[in-house]
Amino acid sequence: MTIRVLFLCTGNSARSQMAEHILRHLAGDHFEVFSAGTDPQGVHPLTVKVLAELNIDASAAESKGLERFIEQQFDYIITVCDRANDHCPGFPGDHRRIHWSFDDPAAVAGDQLQLKAFRRVCNEITNRMRIWIAAVDR
């Protein structure tokens, strides 16, 4: 049985994109994974870069709006930023809602510092995802 997961963030440019691609990479066919934003802003280039460092190809990723998924049913809806958690609408069906708060790496100033922030957040999401996958698979 495939588990449907939707990751939500504000811009769907970094954290939710990372979560979508990392879960797909780690769990493969066990999950059907999507991401969206409450105010989509386009995929940040550093998102694609740090995922590529993990051998995850996100070059075709697109920033999607929440309205695309509002009528769909999911097993899990996971917000990855506080603003999306505060503004998440209701979804149909019986699902679990989870909130994981990750810093916004795009908010960090300076090229090198921002790249470090993207790598740190990507690692945090990867670690959280591994723990979550193990718990869901039980």
Looking at the annotation, which residues are catalytic? 9, 81, 88
Q: Which residues make Cβ contacts (< 8 Å) with residue 110, sequence separation at least 6?
A: none
Q: Which residues make Cβ contacts (< 8 Å) with residue 31, sequence separation at least 6?
A: 2, 3, 4, 5, 23, 24
* DSSP letters for 73-131: --SEEEE-SHHHHHT----SSS-EEEE-----GGGS-SHHHHHHHHHHHHHHHHHHHHH
Q: Which residues make Cβ contacts (< 8 Å) with residue 78, sequence separation at least 6?
A: 5, 6, 7, 8, 19, 97, 98, 99, 100
